[in-house]
A and B are shown apart, each in its own frame.
Chain A
Amino acid sequence: MLSCRGSLLSQTIKRKTQNKPKNKTKLKTNKNVSRTRDFIPKNMHLEDNEEEVGFNLKSSAPSHSHWVQPLGNLYFNPGALNSRNIGLGNLQILSDELVLEILGLLEGTQLGVLATVSKSFYVFTSHEPLWRNLVLDNLKGRFFYNRSWKVTYISTFHPSFDVSRIARSSGLRVRDFYSDYLFQSWLCANLEMKPEWLERDNIIRKRGISVDDFVTNFEEPNKPVLLEGCMDNWDALGKWDRDYLVNLCGDAQFAVGPVKMRLDDYFSYADQVKEERPLYLFDPKFAEKIPTLGSEYDVPVYFREDLFSVLGNRRPDYRWIIIGPAGSGSSFHIDPNSTSAWNAVIRGSKKWILFPPDVVPPGVHPSPDGAEVACPVSIIEWFMNFYDATKDWKKRPIECICKAGEVIFVPNGWWHLVINLEESVAITQNYVSRRNLLNVFDFLKKPNASELVSGTTDRINLYENFKNAIEASFPGTIDGLRLKAKQKKMSFWDSVIDSKVGAFKFYF
């Protein structure tokens, strides 16, 4: 999600360095785009529903409100001038990101004034994320989304102005403005998922297997699986439609990105929004806020061993309700604290892409200590620029679409990306079982635990507290597990030394 103003530069610096490997694909995008000029002989802009680089624009996408074009078009139009540069004066040497960085320091009134300075500034100051930041900074979660972030801002702070004027006019058409950054931003906000991104479904699906089966074949070897039929007794499945949830939750404030919102207001936003990184409702205290929610679902039988529970209410965050519109989701990450997770879809559907722990997904750059993952591209941009690369890799990701009533098991350490294909409601929990306990200890013990450990305010002591609590509740377990692990290691090395053993593989 586009972060608050203060840290935008660090994000843009990251984005700058990300652009280096991305350049190849960026060029491809440009070429493809200028190819569409054949489709659009006279006009240099895109009409509603026009196919752009073979992408499908959302049917609700407005005709581009400002006709921003990618730089590639400029190069195919010799002699043309870029009003972006003309209108910036001696700021034209700044990159798009830096111009936006500067604009991010300004208040709404100042942006409004700048909009009248030149065509270039008019386009720049219309950049929605600027207005989103202003709304969120000033109103936190108490905003009533109205058509766009800019209109939301105006209708809130200048309520006597008739915003339908803005809605009626289609805005100024600026025909000679070329900018990759702004074009990409618009494209990603209005793109639909391509069918070929949704085709591959290679996850193993199981229904009605025993817990032992699950542990032996999936949890122990750390493999993902999609489980069917384990939500059949959930009240939530039948009950959790919009009306029910809104009535039940009333004025309760749910965590949405950097702010907290009422469910009703969030749905109102979700219905209208078209942006690259929609705000996502992701609340770790939903059952504490509304106990009924907690009572209308059950932890599937496979995941009932939940060792963090020994910490009682000192345990890190472990369960979330997740609600979001189509296009919302999480870009590539590994779940914190080395836990495993399950994710159950109650309504809607989610596209999942998973890579094993030792395979860093294309376009993702984790820092060496794992404390930071630089993946500044949004989910949709990842699909545009990197999804194709996965087709050629020998190490293909696991992919699936998880629908209502299905539960996916995400083994610890696996990279995963999720995108909602329609408005979705889901529950997810992270957990530690004996299969995973030693990994979790190792993780919590790390010297930089204070940065890496998440979901708790007591990061430094979590290791000690957890270890002691386990010893108290399950004496001897830790030693038992360590012994088992040692034996396993020894037998592996035995088999390596024994030349009579057949072909084996090293897994690094």
Chain B
Amino acid sequence: MLLSKNSALESKDNEIFEVEESIAIQSELIKTMTTMVNSKAYVNERNQMVPEARCRKQANYHVEQNNKIVDEELSDWESKFFEVDMDDLHELFMAANYLEIESLLNGVTKRVGDFIKACKNVEVIRQTFGINNDFAAQQEEEIRKLNSWNHI
């Protein structure tokens, strides 16, 4: 196998990850930076980034994703990868958002959707996402009426 060029990515807390270039540029942000800064600067491109934990997840995500060729394996692995609690999901989302990685965003979005689907009622949703009820009493009554179709 040919040795691909490696990019060295530095996270905010100064940990350095060596990632294959082809994987690194799945991040739109990194892709733009490398093409903007120096058309040949693929090796040892440094940039300050999000904290280490997120970054490691990125690197792992990509490495694994690119290693998995078989679809079934990939979807199995993916569902395990995203089976994390809301806090971790939050971190993943922040990283995916900052680095602009479409496939990761897709995965997070889907997972949040699953979370919501799994919530049995309003209270559970509020707890899961840390939401306070901001309806006034009168508004709640109105909402209940407008929404009563849902309980038929």
- Partner-B contacts on A (CB < 8 A): 9-10, 13, 83, 86-91, 93-95, 98, 101-102, 105-106, 109-110, 112-122, 154, 158, 160-161, 163, 165-166, 169, 171-172
Contacts and interface: CB of A to CB of B under 8 A. Distances in A.
Contact of B147 (A105, A112, A119): A112
Nearest to A83: B134
B143 A122 contact: yes
Chain B contact surface mostly? helix
8 nearest A-B residue pairs (beta carbon): A105-B113, A89-B131, A89-B129, A112-B150, A161-B149, A89-B130, A158-B149, A154-B149
Contacts of A110: 116-117
Contacts of B90: 90, 93
A296 B147 CA distance: 50
Given A116-B140, A118-B126, 5 more contacts: A106-B117, A112-B149, A113-B150, A120-B134, A158-B152
B48 interface: no
A163 B125 CA distance: 27
Given A10-B102, A13-B102, A98 B129 contact: no
Interface residues of B, number: 38
Contacts of A119: 134-135, 139
Contacts of A98: 105, 109
26 contacts: A90-B90, A91-B112, A93-B93, A93-B97, A94-B97, A98-B109, A101-B109, A105-B113, A106-B117, A109-B150, A112-B150, A113-B121, A115-B143, A116-B122, A118-B126, A118-B131, A118-B134, A119-B135, A121-B131, A158-B150, A160-B152, A161-B148, A161-B152, A165-B146, A169-B145, A171-B146
B68 interface: no
B129 A113 contact: no
Contacts of A169: 142, 145-146
Interface of B: 86, 90, 93-94, 97, 102, 105-106, 109-110, 112-113, 116-117, 119, 121-122, 125-126, 129-135, 139-140, 142-150, 152
A80 to B, nearest CB: 14
A154 B105 CA distance: 31
B131 A113 contact: no
Contact of B131 (A87, A109, A112): A87
A102 B143 contact: no
Contact of A89 (B94, B126, B147, B152): B126
B82 to A, nearest CB: 13
Contact of A102 (B97, B113, B125): B113
Contacts of B105: 9, 13, 98
B126 A117 contact: yes
Given A154-B149, A169-B142, A106 B129 contact: no
A90 B130 contact: yes
A376 to B, nearest CB: 15
A9 B109 contact: yes
Contacts of A13: 102, 105
Contacts of B139: 119, 172
A110 B119 CA distance: 9
A161 B140 CA distance: 19
Identify the interface centre among B86, B113, B132: most chain A CB within 10 Å of its CB: B113
